Amino acid sequence: MTHDVEIIHETQLNAKDDRAIAALLKAAFTTNFYNRSYFQQRHHLRLLIREGDRVAAHIGLCLRDVRLGDAVLTVMGVGDVASAPDLRGQGLASRLLKRAIDEARAGPAQFMVLFGDRAMYVGHGFVAQPNMLRFVTLEDGYTGGIKTEPDETLMVLPLRDNEWDAKAPHDLMGHKF
C-alpha cells in the first residue's frame, strides 16, 4: 500500500485532524499530551501519513531562531514523531522524516534539531551533539524555569554547508521541540 505524505500548515489544521493527531500521540507515547496534538507548543507545519480515515504517522516541524555561541541561526525543530503502534516497523516515520528534511532544505533553516535517541535519526544523518543547552521548561501546560544543562538526546542535521559547533553553548531561545 502506498502511503502519501500530506503537509498541513498549522493555520489550516482542522478540528478533526487535530483530534486524530492527538489520538495518535496518546496511543504512541506514555507521556501525557493532555489530549492535544502537540507536546509543548503548536508546530508550524505537520506532516502526516494516513491509513484510511486515521492518522497513521505524524511529525511536527517548528521554524525558529536559536543561538549557538554568539551566532543566531535559523533551525527547523522536529517534534512529536509518532507512528500508530500497530503500524510500527513499516517505515512510516522514516518516510515522514525524509520528507521533513526535504521541506527544511527548501526553506531558510541551516540545521534541523531534535531531541531523540532512535537509530532512525542517525540513519538520516542526524548526529548527537554534546552542547550545553539553555531552554525554557514547559511542564503540565505551564511555563517553568530556565534550565542550562547538557541533554544527551540533542541531535542535529546540517542542511547547508554549515558546521555545528559542538563546544558552543546552545540557547534554544524558548522551549525544546
pLDDT in tens, 16-67: 999 999 999 999 999 888 899 999 899 999 999 999 889 999 999 999 999 9
Which cell numbers in the block locate residue 145?
524555569
Residue 90 to residues 33, 62, 114, 174, Cα–Cα distance (Å): 24, 25, 22, 34
Which cell numbers in the block locate residue 5?
505524505
Confidence band of 141 (pLDDT split at 50, 70, 90): confident
Distance, first Cα to last Cα, the chain:
31
Cα distance between residue 12 and residue 116, in whole Å: 28
Cα distance between residue 95 and residue 5, in whole Å: 8
Taking residues 1-22, report their average pLDDT: 92
E strand segments, 16-53: 45-51
Third-level CATH fold of 5-171: Aminopeptidase (3.40.630)
Q: Which helix (H) or strand (E) holds 150?
A: strand 142-150
- What pLDDT is stored for residue 91 in this prediction? 93
